[in-house]
């Protein structure tokens, strides 16, 4: 039974998240249904990360087991045919070892959060980023973000329903990129770590937005982190600006 790695992109607005659910559309369920069109099911696929409702991906990685020896390109083409019209696409496909695992073999996950500062509502990019209508101080946000990088107890920035065994994680990067637009400014938050707590990235960005708006000082982020108290966190930002951008493995399964 060969195993295949899938590089997956999706727009999360139509889904209740990655994980299969009985009563709501999910990315996992959509891909498994497409696999069932190719080979009789049931199929169960595993992913590098379980994204929440409304969250997108440009670099999600999953794996599946099939009975037939598929050419990887043919498999990706067949899946994309059966995935239509859902906003899900298989960007690449590769044969991997029978014990390779999309989640457990991952060394690092990279997330991107897009935040737009402008007065006018979003139109063509609606649902793809979070809009605020006030000016933000990027240097202040980066100063606040710098307090979060490293090995910490992130209880403050962890959802109350998080199922992780420990709130202690290592955050390798939290970088604020400024992209001037013709009207407004886009801020991109690049976040990198081996693993994340539930709502951790959205808690970071929501807190840092308060710093950029001047409601918090950069050092307030350090105090919130040290409090180890969810009540000390800033507001959790909406999901539509969040993307699972990439997953790194000891050997890239998609390298040619």
CA 192 distance to own-chain centroid: 11
Q: Which residue has the tokens 């069932």?
A: 36
Tokens of 120: 């006018």
228: left (phi over 0), alpha (psi -120 to 50) or beta: left
Q: How many Cβ atoms from other residues are within 10 Å of residue 193's Cβ?
A: 20
Q: For residue 83, which of 36, 133, 152, 18 has the smallest C-alpha distance?
A: 36
Catalytic residue among 14, 52, 92, 172: 52
- Judge whether 139 counts as a catalytic residue: no
- Got the DSSP string for the chain? --EEEEEEEE-GGGSS-SS--SSS--HHHHHHHHHHHHS-S----EES----TT-EEEEEEEEEE-SS---HHHHHHHHHHHHTTSSEEEEEEEEE-TT--TTTT--EEEEEEEEEE-SSPPSTTTTTSEEESS---HHHHHHHHHTT-EEEE-GGGS-TT---S-SEEEEEEEEEEEEE-SSSEEEEEEEEES---TTHHHHHHHHHHHHHHTSS-HHHHHHHHHHT-GGGS-PPPPGGGEEEEEEE-SS-TT--
Residues with a known catalytic role: 52
């Amino acid at each position: 039974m060969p195993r295949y790695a899938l590089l997956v992109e999706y727009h999360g607005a139509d889904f209740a998240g990655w994980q299969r659910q009985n009563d709501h559309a999910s990315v996992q369920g959509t891909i498994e249904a497409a696999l069932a069109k190719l080979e009789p099911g049931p199929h169960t696929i595993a992913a590098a990360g379980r994204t929440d409702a409304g969250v997108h991906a440009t670099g999600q990685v999953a794996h599946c087991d099939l009975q037939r020896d598929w050419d990887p390109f043919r498999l990706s083409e067949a899946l994309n045919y059966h995935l239509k019209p859902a906003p899900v696409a298989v960007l690449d496909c590769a044969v991997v070892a029978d014990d390779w695992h999309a989640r457990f073999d991952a060394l690092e996950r990279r997330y991107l959060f897009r935040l737009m500062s402008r007065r006018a509502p979003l139109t063509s990019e609606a649902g793809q980023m979070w809009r605020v209508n006030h000016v933000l101080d990027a240097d202040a946000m980066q100063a606040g973000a710098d307090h979060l990088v490293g090995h910490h107890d992130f209880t403050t920035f962890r959802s109350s329903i998080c199922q992780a065994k420990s709130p202690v994680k290592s955050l390798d990067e939290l970088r604020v990129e400024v992209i001037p637009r013709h009207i407004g400014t886009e801020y991109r938050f690049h976040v990198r770590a081996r693993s994340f707590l539930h709502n951790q990235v959205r808690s970071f960005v929501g807190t840092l937005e308060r710093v950029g708006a001047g409601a918090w000082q950069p050092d307030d982020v350090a105090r919130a982190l040290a409090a180890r108290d969810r009540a000390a966190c800033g507001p959790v930002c909406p999901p539509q600006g969040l993307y699972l951008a990439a997953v790194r493995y000891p050997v890239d399964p998609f390298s040619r």
